[in-house]
Amino acid sequence: MTDWSRREFIAAVGAAGTTAALLGPQAVAQAGRAPSLRFGVQTPPQQTTYKDLLSVWKEADDLGFDSVFAFDHFMPIMADADGPCFEGWTLLAALATQTRRIRVGLLVTGNTYRFPAVLAKSAITVDHACNGRLILGIGAGWFEREHTAYGIPFYTPGGRARRLRESVEVLKALFTQPRTTYKGKYYTLTDAPCEPKAVQRPHPPILIGGMGPKVVQPVAARHAQIWHFFVRDGDPEKVKEVCRGFDEICHKVGRDPAEVEKATSLRAADLTGSSKEIRMRVQALADAGVRHLVLQLAPPFDRALLRRFAKEVMGGFRASR
């Protein structure tokens, strides 16, 4: 059984501050090295086939990427909204069982259409199916069109954020308690069991995505092991400012910022130019505080770019460890 509170989570986050929090300062002194970077891939499950998704996930696994993600939407969010789009959690369960070592997840689950008690059961099932490799990504939900199309209440930005806060509290309670009673404004559970527990203890790493400074970032600061954020143009100075602001929120809620891995995505503009230029962009983001970079691939997935990034960009950072 995996115990990420000591071993898996330290490997996942790779931050000296996290090591100090979990194993003590002596272990950090013995480690004697700077935090490492993790690299992931995101493959939107739209305008594509299951066969192609499976193939690219297996290749990402073989190439040594640390994580691979789909998304959680019911219709395409890019290009033709009437095109094909696979359901996220069913897809994740299927793909997870076909990989060997890479961590798997959704970037991110839409809380507005995933009741937290049901999501907890789905997450635990997938964590067992992949032998403790799930990253539980979750966000407040944002794509109004799919809510309208499927009759799902959309709520205000604040309402969605507050529901996310309660949902994460419910998830953590179900993951760790024999039975859960919870009475919130939006969710109520009464003496609810949740067995079996996840392979990862106390629960799979929780990734919270979102930039909302009033609710979402404080929820991530308090509860997440990974925080995923976007800066529109990817400017390292803006990224550094965002990371600094998040660290301040962590301190306000009583959390060591080093316990939360900062993650962002590399988009098409970040992946142009020579391998040296891309490595310089990655290094600038790392210097700004990012520790997990997710390569966004749009269908049809550019396998040559994936291989080149693994060999010439990711490989260079791994060699320097």
Is the pLDDT at 33 greater than 60, yes or no? no
272-304 pLDDT tens trace: 999 999 999 999 999 999 999 999 999 999 999
- Indicate the pTM of the whole model: 0.89
Is the pLDDT at 4 greater than 50, yes or no? no
88-118 pLDDT tens trace: 999 999 999 999 999 999 999 999 999 999 9
Residues 6+ apart with CB under 8 A from 248: none
191-200 pLDDT tens trace: 999 999 999 9
Please tell me the total count of domains within the chain.
1
How many other CB atoms are there within 10 angstroms of residue 23's CB atom?
Answer: 15
Do 134 and 158 contact (CB within 8 A), yes or no? no
Please count the CA atoms within 13 angstroms of the CA of 316 that sit on its side-chain side: 12
Is the pLDDT at 22 greater than 90, yes or no? no
pLDDT of residue 149: 96
* CA atoms of 182 and 169, how far apart (whole Å): 9
Is the pLDDT at 23 greater than 70, yes or no? no
How many other CB atoms are there within 10 angstroms of residue 182's CB atom?
Answer: 17
Q: Which residues pair with 182 in a beta bridge?
A: 189
pLDDT of residue 78: 87
| Average pLDDT value for the chain | 90
The dihedral built from the CA positions of residue 142, 148, 149 and 151, taken in this order, carries a sign that is positive
> In angstroms, how far apart are the furthest CA atoms of the chain?
57
Please count the CA atoms within 13 angstroms of the CA of 79 that sit on its side-chain side: 12
Confidence of residue 14 (pLDDT cuts 50, 70, 90): very low
* CA atoms of 234 and 285, how far apart (whole Å): 8
* CA atoms of 125 and 94, how far apart (whole Å): 11
Q: Say what percent of the chain tops pLDDT 90.
A: 84
Is the pLDDT at 174 greater than 60, yes or no? yes
For residues 137-151, average pLDDT? 97
Is the pLDDT at 186 greater than 90, yes or no? yes
Candidates 207, 115, 186; CA nearest to 152 is: 115
Is the pLDDT at 65 greater than 70, yes or no? yes
SS3 label, residue 309: helix
The dihedral built from the CA positions of residue 34, 138, 48 and 59, taken in this order, carries a sign that is positive
Confidence of residue 28 (pLDDT cuts 50, 70, 90): very low
Q: Say what percent of the chain tops pLDDT 70.
A: 88
Q: E strands within 194-311?
A: 206-209, 226-228, 261-266, 292-296
CATH number at residue 45: 3.20.20.30
Residue holding tokens 């640390």?
Answer: 66
Domain with 149, as residue range(s), is 4-319
212-253 pLDDT tens trace: 999 999 999 999 999 999 998 899 999 999 999 999 999 999
Do 158 and 85 contact (CB within 8 A), yes or no? no
